[in-house]
Chain A
Amino acid sequence: MVISFWIIITITFVLMHKIPGDPLTSLPKNLPDSIKTNYYIKYGLEKPLLQQYGIYIKNILCGNLGESLIYPGREVKDIIREYSPASITLGIQATVLGFLAGTILGVFAALKKNKLSDRIINIIALLGISIPSFVVAALLQYMFSVKYQFFPVTGYSGFSYTILPTLALSIPIFAAYGRFVRTSSLEVLNKEYILTARAKGIKDSSLIFKHIIRNGIIPAITILGMQLANVLAGSFVIENIFAIPGLGTHFVLSVVNRDYSVIMGLTIFYSALYMGSLLLSDLLYVIADPRIKINGRSKGRPTGTMAEEL
């Protein structure tokens, strides 16, 4: 963990300083050198890179992520504290919604294989994947906030503000899971034990819940971890369209503005999120597939390494 963090920090630090420009060159105005020097001294940017790196590592160890170079007086940890709740809330809502809807429709499509409803679901899923989310977002916004004023257009101050962005964010997730679950459910359906179960006269509902869903979503959980980290990081496009004060816009703009301390702070935060969600998806395996648990315990492996095994 610590080593991965260190590697991430070092690589980002080097790359960030290697791209041309600095926080001042992203200003539209060219400044006299004396003023530039003042600014560099203020933020310690005049020191050799190695020394800056040393100072930064030392600060991180003391839990200090530094201050934004573009927005005076805003500390990086305040930025994370202030903006991450919106991104995380939307991310979780969208993932849960997408995952549930995708699973249900995927299984349904598998059961109705090659029938009309399967085809329709397929087309919806295809559209969901291929239509860019900003188009969906703009359409939703226009339909449900301007034409029929059900929801607020933009902003973030309550549950009603999260509905449209959540929908827009969840559509690609839903589409991806739908396809995924359908394929794996079909595989399960062709298994002999399903035939056995049917032969034993098991009820359709318990066949679906006990056998198909349980086995069908295992591969889907594999991508859940990565998907979750992706969505939690916030979407630049969706946050922009709905004017949501989230981290996504901050991350992208910090790179454009060369806001070094924000780039670093957010990279660290995202890495932590990513590692956290990988761990979470490993844990979900255990719930979905008891074989893994028994297997894992008997060999005395920590749960964290199970992803590799699969």
Chain B
Amino acid sequence: MNIIKECQQQKGGKLVKIKKNLAMLLIFTVVIATSIGGCSTKKDTADLDTNQHLTISLNAEPESLDPSRAVDSYSSIVIAECQEALTRCEQDETGKDIIKAAGAKSWEVSKDGLAWTFKLRDNLWSDGKEVAAEDYKYGIMRTLDPSNGGRYSGLLNSIKGAEEYVSGKGKAEDVGVKAIDDKTLVFTLKSPCPYFINLTYFKLFTPQRKDYVEKYGEKFGADAESIPSSGPFVLKSWKHKSTIELEKNNYYWDKDSVKLSKLSYKILEDEQGRMDEILNGTVDIGTVEKKEWKDKFDSLGKFNIIGGYEPVTDYIFFNTKDNLFKNVKIRKAFSAAINREEYVKTLFPRTRVAAYGFIPPSLQIGEDDFRTIAGSEPLKTLLSNNTDVKGLFKEGLKELKLAQEGAGGSGGTNGGSSGGSSGVSSKIISDDPAKVTITLTAVGTNAKQKQIQEYFQQELQKNLGCQVKIDYVDGGAYLDKLKRGDFQATAMAWTGDYNDPMTFFEIWTSKSMMNFTFWTNKTYEDNINKAASTTDQAVRLAAFKENEDIIVNQEAVCVPLDYRQRSQYQRNYVKGYMSTLFGSGFECKYAYTSGRK
């Protein structure tokens, strides 16, 4: 039934939209934000419309507006406008993400890089009470509190004692966050974390009110009245699954920069409704994904398009315990068999770009774009070294067959157990590609997913000469299946959490919860440790570059497919709106309209 299809489509969408979270620039020593308000204050505001309001479409209902318990990206968007985190993620004139002082007016780092001291600004809650350092600390501690589930606590792991506390092994007192006085907050880290400042504008670093949490208990964050505001806007009403309305917060420290008197979010889960709302003008800003809609909107000439890359890479990975994919030549042949340019042209015109590395363009290391300064792209090396794809595949099969014959008889059971419990292809390997079957595992069964998988199926059958089957799995059961090792190869999308390559590379380590490949590599782990413990960006860059080459080229466990591009359409009259890469992604603090009819 189409009901099922529809909802799986949603699920598929959710998987990749995961969390558009944190981060940016590396500011290492003392930063004092002087130019508050940034570029927007310079703009001529004389022609402002009298009625300042803005409506944005959200693709799904936020789970909750409780910063400690919501784990979706939609809640981050709304929370960013209602709460003042230590910093805010904004854009400079060129559209690059920058970190602005917000809840904190300045911060400094100790020489060893372990102690971060934040001096807080004088700011008031929307009920007139002062925002204190204790409120920030309370927020952090609530996120880590095991009784709250701590589903998003992973991002706080760099704080000393945090991991222990959330897993019940440590005590609350040992967590490295202290409110020295009303206006001073100190974090003690486990080890130097070069991107710690990139975490501070995420919702976990917003203040929370203990009295409200205690008053509303479980219902804190579920309704508008339970949430006092510390940011540019106050939550006025929340009609679940329909609309969220915010109003300007007159207690906000920087209220002069806020020009909108009303900011609304319409929750529009269906694409048709969303497009019609944008077309009709009742929604001012929305994301447009499909080419046909883009063409339509472009022809109207009433929109500004916000493009650029999303911090998202689509890729395929293998189960390296699998009898077939334990062989590196097979993995390389698989990777080389897909023509990325054809792939994006056929399936994602105007929305995605072929990927030849794992780190998407626009992700920064220090203040530089990683892709630009890394230079080489590892997949290109792999492609140029392996032009005879079919031959490579056959070679791989031959090696496997030899190994199997060598291990035969005496080592039969041995080989079986070391080959893993998965046994997806436990049959005897044939060196004839036509007798080999590869199974691709896919989430959901919506039309797009089918197109994508069938595309891979065709390409692989054509270029490798083998048989390809597709196994469609329901979203709820997918991760379970991966964890059990019950798959051969599957495609996934990874969205960076913060603006540092580490957010992409850490998923391939043996500790990572997202590494389903059973693949580990000592050089790789060493490089990660090196990059995590130094603040020297040159050393980190070298380590990351080598790691990208390992996963994409040398070991070929990761098959990059494409980088996603964003396309938010905003009406011409919307000004001062910032579509940041990280942070909320929909920053409206400085937004206003001029010339709305």
Spell out A's residues near B (CB within 8 Å).
19-22, 24-32, 34-35, 37-39, 42, 67, 70-74, 82-83, 132, 134, 137-138, 141-142, 145-146, 149, 152-157, 236-237, 240-245, 249-250, 252-253, 255-258
Q: Whole-angstrom distance between the alpha carbons of A252 and B71 in the complex?
A: 20
18 interchain pairs (CB within 8 A)? A19-B474, A19-B476, A29-B514, A30-B513, A30-B516, A35-B150, A70-B63, A72-B218, A73-B222, A83-B241, A145-B280, A153-B277, A153-B280, A157-B242, A240-B270, A243-B242, A244-B242, A252-B6
Rank and list the top 3 A-B pairs by shortest CB-CB distance, nearest first: A21-B476, A34-B167, A73-B222
Q: Is the CB of A73 within 8 A of B240?
A: no
Q: Of the candidates A35, A71, A152, A241, which one forms a contact with B222 in the assembled complex, judged by CB atoms under 8 Å apart? A: A71
> Which residue, of A73, A236, A240, A255, has the highest number of chain B Cβ atoms within 10 A?
A73
Is B328 close to A, CB under 8 A? no
> Which residue, of A26, A31, A72, A240, has the highest number of chain B Cβ atoms within 10 A?
A72
Is B191 close to A, CB under 8 A? no
Q: Of the candidates A39, A149, A156, which one forms a contact with B280 in the assembled complex, judged by CB atoms under 8 Å apart? A: A149
Q: Whole-angstrom distance between the alpha carbons of A250 and B267 in the complex?
A: 14
- Shortest Cβ distance from residue A94 to the other chain B in the assembled complex, whole angstroms: 17
Interface size class of B (residues with CB under 8 A): 35 or more
- Shortest Cβ distance from residue B254 to the other chain A in the assembled complex, whole angstroms: 30
Q: Which residues of B sit under 8 angstroms from A250, Cβ to Cβ?
A: 241
7 extra A-B contacts, CB within 8 A, seeds A21-B480, A22-B476, A256-B475: A28-B14, A31-B154, A82-B240, A149-B280, A153-B276, A237-B6, A243-B268
Q: Whole-angstrom distance between the alpha carbons of A242 and B280 in the complex?
A: 14
Closest to B512 in A: A30
Q: Whole-angstrom distance between the alpha carbons of A240 and B60 in the complex?
A: 10
Q: Of the candidates A37, A83, A132, A154, which one forms a contact with B273 in the assembled complex, judged by CB atoms under 8 Å apart? A: A154
Q: Whole-angstrom distance between the alpha carbons of A247 and B172 in the complex?
A: 41
Q: Is the CB of B276 within 8 A of A73?
A: no
Q: Is the CB of A243 within 8 A of B66?
A: no
Q: Which residues of B sit under 8 angstroms from A257, Cβ to Cβ?
A: 476
Q: Whole-angstrom distance between the alpha carbons of A142 and B296 in the complex?
A: 14
CB within 8 Å for A72 and B66 given contacts A154-B266, A256-B11: yes
Q: Is the CB of A72 within 8 A of B222?
A: yes
CB within 8 Å for A249 and B241 given contacts A21-B480, A72-B222, A240-B269: yes
Is B15 close to A, CB under 8 A? yes
Q: Is the CB of A35 within 8 A of B166?
A: yes
- Shortest Cβ distance from residue B56 to the other chain A in the assembled complex, whole angstroms: 14
Q: Which residues of B sit under 8 angstroms from A73, Cβ to Cβ?
A: 64, 66, 69, 216, 218-223, 226
Q: Whole-angstrom distance between the alpha carbons of A82 and B146 in the complex?
A: 30
- Shortest Cβ distance from residue B484 to the other chain A in the assembled complex, whole angstroms: 10
Q: Which residues of B sit under 8 angstroms from A240, Cβ to Cβ?
A: 6, 269-270, 273
Is B282 close to A, CB under 8 A? yes
Is B483 close to A, CB under 8 A? yes
Is B470 close to A, CB under 8 A? no
Q: Is the CB of A141 within 8 A of B240?
A: no
Q: Is the CB of B514 within 8 A of A243?
A: no
Q: Mark B245-272, 1 if CB is under 8 A from A, else 0.
A: 0000000000000000000001111101
Q: Mark B1-45, 1 if CB is under 8 A from A, else 0.
A: 011101110110011101000000000000000000000000000
Q: Whole-angstrom distance between the alpha carbons of A249 and B268 in the complex?
A: 12
Q: Is the CB of A29 within 8 A of B18?
A: yes
Closest to B14 in A: A28
Is B542 close to A, CB under 8 A? no
Q: Is the CB of A146 within 8 A of B279?
A: yes
Closest to A38 in B: B146
Is B595 close to A, CB under 8 A? no
Q: Is the CB of A20 within 8 A of B476?
A: yes
Q: Whole-angstrom distance between the alpha carbons of A272 and B177 in the complex?
A: 51
Q: Whole-angstrom distance between the alpha carbons of A242 and B273 in the complex?
A: 6
Q: Which residues of A sit under 8 angstroms from B46, Cβ to Cβ?
A: none
Q: Is the CB of A21 within 8 A of B477?
A: yes
Q: Of the candidates A21, A35, A155, which one forms a contact with B242 in the assembled complex, judged by CB atoms under 8 Å apart? A: A155
Q: Which residues of B sit under 8 angstroms from A26, Cβ to Cβ?
A: 11, 475-476
Is B153 close to A, CB under 8 A? yes
Q: Is the CB of B513 within 8 A of A32?
A: yes
CB within 8 Å for A243 and B280 given contacts A71-B222, A73-B220, A83-B240: no
Q: Of the candidates B64, B169, B480, which one forms a contact with A72 in the assembled complex, judged by CB atoms under 8 Å apart? A: B64
Q: Which residues of B sit under 8 angstroms from A37, Cβ to Cβ?
A: 168
Q: Is the CB of A141 within 8 A of B272?
A: yes
CB within 8 Å for A39 and B151 given contacts A25-B480, A27-B71, A30-B514: yes
Q: Is the CB of B474 within 8 A of A21?
A: yes
Is B291 close to A, CB under 8 A? no
Q: Whole-angstrom distance between the alpha carbons of A255 and B476 in the complex?
A: 9
Q: Whole-angstrom distance between the alpha carbons of A35 and B151 in the complex?
A: 7
Q: Which residues of A sit under 8 angstroms from B7, Cβ to Cβ?
A: 236, 252-253, 255-256
Q: Whole-angstrom distance between the alpha carbons of A249 and B150 in the complex?
A: 27
- Shortest Cβ distance from residue B275 to the other chain A in the assembled complex, whole angstroms: 9
Q: Is the CB of B266 within 8 A of A155?
A: yes
Is B243 close to A, CB under 8 A? yes
Q: Is the CB of B273 within 8 A of A141?
A: yes
Q: Which residues of B sit under 8 angstroms from A83, Cβ to Cβ?
A: 240-241
Q: Which residues of A sit under 8 angstroms from B481, Cβ to Cβ?
A: 20
Q: Whole-angstrom distance between the alpha carbons of A39 and B147 in the complex?
A: 8
Q: Is the CB of A243 within 8 A of B273?
A: yes
Q: Is the CB of A154 within 8 A of B276?
A: yes
Q: Of the candidates B146, B223, B241, B282, which one forms a contact with A153 in the assembled complex, judged by CB atoms under 8 Å apart? A: B282
Q: Of the candidates A28, A72, A154, which one forms a contact with B63 in the assembled complex, judged by CB atoms under 8 Å apart? A: A72
- Shortest Cβ distance from residue B442 to the other chain A in the assembled complex, whole angstroms: 15
Is B115 close to A, CB under 8 A? no
Q: Is the CB of B269 within 8 A of A249?
A: yes
Q: Is the CB of A25 within 8 A of B2?
A: no
